[in-house]
A and B are shown apart, each in its own frame.
Chain A
């Protein structure tokens, strides 16, 4: 029989060496301002839930793309069971360019719009050399093999209840339990994980079934409690009752390694963009990108 243990003295010696060096535990920044507080790094699973259509995919893709922008060596893998890479690209172009998603989908561009789109495309293109998308079937084995082959550091799984573990596990609950166990192993191997989870409706004080933010909790994640138990941080994205329309709160319901901290954001749906409310948004003017302020006209459409 083989043994699978290491003496604490050996582990402590290794840890103490790193601790005394002052070297910080590795973390991947996923945003600036308020979003910098979201803890993503090797060995960590961040779980995000919310009602359908609240912007879970938009937020996690914003975090992932900004992580690629802020961490120059980071490599990431996306497993999105519902949206194609083309749809996700359109959303990122809208987010960066400030051109609304409807205009992008309809491809109705004038010279000014092209100027913005070219900036967004030029920003994204080099990032996507460090990004890959899992192709169907969307199973744990396929995600693992892709992560190894692409040498991914960060995985985005959207959404976890639709990613199948190998083997048969009885019911849906067993299946999700097994998937989370595998994800925990991925994290233990040094990967960072962003995991989107579907939530179930709850009952309000009148007994009505609802996705209202006041009624959602850690127990709202569908199928299995292993989702919230297995995650290091768990967030729920809910609409704010106070403030203006579009205001949302990233409620920090579980924080295994820190103090929980809610983050207040504004979701600009037309741009698929989350902007912090309490800190400054890094919005820059187009003219600031060029030495000649307000220059236009270089970007006329090709006659063809």
Chain B
């Protein structure tokens, strides 16, 4: 135990400034052999898609069209976005009918492709998104 004779005291509401921030602890999983191969895809890939969309496509879309594309982007996993039209509508702030119309417009421009149609009891539709129109 460390002791010091008569250390000074802080007056009134005084506090000492923050010391250095703690270093993040190295997780055990990252130290195991093979951890490199099991890591998730580098985020640059996802950011590259988002950057291309923002830089090249966003200006030509309405706010609602952009909102629908962003919902699909947010839900993308392993190249596909599996999400119901109801969920798209809720998060984009539109009704379901409008969501279907917006999806059709994005598809016509080559920004969204429905690769699997959802059915009752068989899961949501699956979409593939592109950051720029398919040429």
Interface of chain A residues 69 through 96 with chain B (CB within 8 A): 69-70, 95-96
Assess whether B2 is interfacial by the CB under 8 Å rule.
yes
Interface core residue of A116, A123, A206, A286 (most chain B CB under 10 Å):
A123
Task: List A residues 22-51 near B (Cβ within 8 Å).
Answer: 31-32
B15 at the interface (CB under 8 A from A): yes
In the bound complex, residues from chain B placing their C-beta under 8 Å from that of A100 are 18-19, 21-22
- Contact yes or no, A120 B12, CB < 8 A: no
**CB of A51 to closest CB in B, whole Å:** 22
Query: Does B9 lie within 8 Å of A122, measured CB to CB?
Result: yes
Closest chain B residue to A98 by CB distance? B16
Shortest Cβ gap from B3 to chain A (Å): 8
A271 within 8 A of B: yes
Chain A: interface size category? 35 or more
Contact B8 A119 (CB under 8 A): yes
A98 touches B1 (CB 8 A): no
- List the A side residues contacting B12 at CB < 8 Å: 32, 69-70, 282
Residues of B18-68 whose CB lies within 8 A of A? 18-19, 21-22
A114 contacts the other chain (CB 8 A): yes
CB of A270 within 8 A of chain B?
Answer: yes
**Do B21 and A69 have beta carbons less than 8 Å apart?**
no
- Is A142 close to B, CB under 8 A? no
User: Which residue of chain B is the closest to A102 with respect to CB atoms?
Assistant: B22
In the assembled complex, B17 has its CB within 8 A of some CB on chain A? yes
A118 touches B7 (CB 8 A): yes
What is the CA–CA distance of A298 and B6 in the complex, to the nearest angstrom? 12
A123 in contact with B19 (CB, 8 Å): no
User: Is B17's CB under 8 angstroms from A95's CB?
Assistant: no
Complex Cα gap A99–B2 (Å): 16
Q: Any chain A CB within 8 A of the CB of B4?
A: yes
Contacts of B7 in A (CB 8 A): 115, 118-119, 121-122
Bound together, the chains give a CA A111 to CA B8 distance in angstroms of 16
Instruction: Find out whether the CB atom of B18 lies under 8 angstroms from the CB atom of A271.
Output: yes
**A-chain residues with CB within 8 Å of residue B17 when the two chains form the complex:** 98, 283-286
Max count, chain B CB within 10 A of own CB: residue among A102, A119, A268: A119
8 A Cβ contacts from A89-136 to B: 95-100, 102-103, 109, 112-123, 126
| A301 interface neighbour in B2, B6, B16, Cβ under 8 Å | B2
Assembled-state Cα–Cα distance A121/B10 (Å)? 10
Nearest CB of chain B from residue A273's CB, rounded to whole Å: 7
Are the CB atoms of A118 and B10 closer together than 8 Å?
A: no
Q: Which of A109, A122, A286 contacts B16 (CB 8 A)?
A: A286
Q: How far is the CB of B88 from chain A (nearest CB, A)?
A: 14
Task: Please state if A283 and B19 are interface contacts (CB–CB under 8 Å).
Answer: no
25 pairs, A vs B, C-beta closer than 8 Å: A31-B13, A32-B13, A69-B12, A69-B13, A96-B16, A98-B17, A100-B18, A103-B19, A113-B19, A115-B7, A119-B10, A122-B6, A122-B9, A206-B90, A270-B18, A271-B18, A282-B13, A284-B15, A285-B16, A289-B8, A289-B10, A290-B8, A299-B2, A299-B4, A302-B2
Given pairs A98-B18, A268-B18, A270-B21, 18 additional interface contacts (CB within 8 A): A31-B13, A69-B12, A98-B19, A99-B19, A114-B4, A118-B2, A118-B4, A119-B10, A122-B9, A270-B22, A273-B15, A282-B13, A282-B15, A283-B15, A283-B17, A284-B14, A290-B8, A299-B4
